Amino acid sequence: MTNGGALKELDETDHALLEAVQRDGRATLSDLAVEIRLSVSATRARLRALEEQRIITAYAAHVDPEAVGYALRAVVRMKVNGPLFDAEVATVLERHPQIVRCLRVTGESCYMMEIVATGLRDLEEITDDLAQIGPISTDLVYEVVADKPTPVP
Amino acid sequence: MTNGGALKELDETDHALLEAVQRDGRATLSDLAVEIRLSVSATRARLRALEEQRIITAYAAHVDPEAVGYALRAVVRMKVNGPLFDAEVATVLERHPQIVRCLRVTGESCYMMEIVATGLRDLEEITDDLAQIGPISTDLVYEVVADKPTPVP
DNA sequence: GATGAAACTCTGTATTC
DNA sequence: GAATACAGAGTTTCATC
């Protein structure tokens, strides 16, 4: 029987594997095997285990928003008065795929969102929608200074 | 000669390809070819072009921070008085891989950061370091409500 | 965890529309 | 620009040690 969920301690080799596959998600098993100094089959077994334990949650290509036409990136903070605005927020998130990230955080019931937009007009449309839910404050992003993978301690 | 950089209009097929490869970064060319209804060689040509134009910037595995021991996630906003604190910020980013994201934004010369930490003690160590650069405000993240790929318009 | 053989995938080149 | 086809190299998979 396969063990789909049980958490095991991650050893140094697992850490190296996670590090490698975050750096290059398209690396072949053979590449990874060389990197972590294991056979291909052992590498595959470990990678599978990490996937099945949902430690690796996905593999994805990164697309540069600017290169596909989003000249702007903004951070929007939104306060909500009541306790549960999950439904309203979910609706807006579904309506606007350009809200690429949304966090619910402490401090005056805030949501923090990251939005990509083709221009100010485009951004305004989304923020107008958000402002219906609660008071917002919008900051434009000058630069993504860092966007790093999860470190493996 | 190959065309490494020139920007071309992306058509529907390119959009479908970007969408597919963001959803599954490990999909084989054959998989992608089926999905976008093109031959393998045409699919490969388009994927190459997207990579060479730096529209696809990377492929990466996503690792769940919680699953590798980071119980906490925090958003830290930092104000800096002077104009260029890039060097100081770069140093802290290098010293703390747990600062997984850093944006430079409008509004009182702010940096916004996302940090993963094993606990409050761990988080405190990083925020103490940041507080040396400028005044900070820290919010804990209750929930990552959404983390979506770049939409292709 | 390693090995090796079979099946599959990728890459480059050539041909045709 | 795209489809088809072919071959060699590389990769994955699985049974076996």
Backbone angles phi, psi at B126, to 5 degrees: -75, -45
Integer CA distances (angstroms), B153 to A69, A98, B12, in order: 8, 9, 9
Distance CA A47, CA B69 (A): 18
Q: How confident is the model at residue A1 (pLDDT cuts 50, 70, 90)?
A: very low
> What confidence score (pLDDT) does residue B7 get?
63
Is the pLDDT at A6 greater than 90? The verdict is no
Distance CA B83, CA A50 (A): 44
Chain A residues with CB inside 8 Å of B125's CB?
none
Domains belonging to chain B, first-starting first, are: 2-52 (1.10.10.10), 65-140 (3.30.70.920)
Cα angle, residue B150 at apex, residues B100 and A120 outer, rounded to 5°: 100
Picking from A146, A150, A144, A149, the residue whose alpha carbon sits closest to that of residue A72 is A144
| Interface contact A144, partner B, CB < 8 A | yes
> What confidence score (pLDDT) does residue A76 get?
97
Which whole number is the average pLDDT over B2-22? 82
Burial status of residue A53 (CB atoms within 10 A of its CB: 0-12, 13-18, 19 or more): middle
pLDDT tens per residue, range B28-85: 999 999 999 999 999 999 999 999 999 999 999 999 999 999 999 999 999 998 777 8
Is the pLDDT at A109 greater than 60? The verdict is yes
How long is the CA B42 to C1' C17 vector, in angstroms? Answer: 15
> What confidence score (pLDDT) does residue A7 get?
64
pLDDT tens per residue, range B92-112: 999 999 999 999 999 876 999
Distance CA A95, CA A74 (A): 17
Distance CA B25, CA A46 (A): 19
**Letter for the amino acid at A25?**
G
> What confidence score (pLDDT) does residue B1 get?
40
Contact A152 B24 (CB under 8 A): no
Is the pLDDT at A4 greater than 50? The verdict is no
Give the nucleotide at minimum CA-to-C1' distance from A39: C2
Integer CA distances (angstroms), B36 to A18, B22, B33, B43, B150, in order: 30, 14, 5, 8, 18
> What confidence score (pLDDT) does residue A85 get?
80
> What confidence score (pLDDT) does residue A9 get?
83
Picking from B15, B92, B83, B4, the residue whose alpha carbon sits closest to that of residue B48 is B4
Chain B residues with CB inside 8 Å of A102's CB?
144-147
Distance CA B93, CA B87 (A): 10
* Facing residue for B68 by CB, picked from A116, A148, A150: A150
**Residue of chain B minimizing CA distance to A103:** B144
Chain B stretch 78-97, residues whose beta carbon is closer than 8 A to a beta carbon of chain A:
86, 89-90, 93, 97
Distance CA A112, CA A97 (A): 15
Picking from B71, B45, B80, the residue whose alpha carbon sits closest to that of residue B142 is B71
Is strand C within 7 Å of residue B30 (CB)? yes
Distance to chain B for A134, nearest Cα, Å: 17
> What confidence score (pLDDT) does residue B110 get?
93
Which whole number is the average pLDDT over B119-123? 98
- Average confidence score pLDDT of chain A: 93
A101 Rama class: left (phi>0) / alpha (psi -120 to 50) / beta: beta
pLDDT tens per residue, range A57-103: 999 999 999 999 999 999 999 999 877 788 999 999 999 999 999 99
Distance to chain B for A106, nearest Cα, Å: 5
* Facing residue for B61 by CB, picked from A25, A103, A151: A25
| Interface contact A53, partner B, CB < 8 A | yes
> What confidence score (pLDDT) does residue B81 get?
81
> What confidence score (pLDDT) does residue B6 get?
58
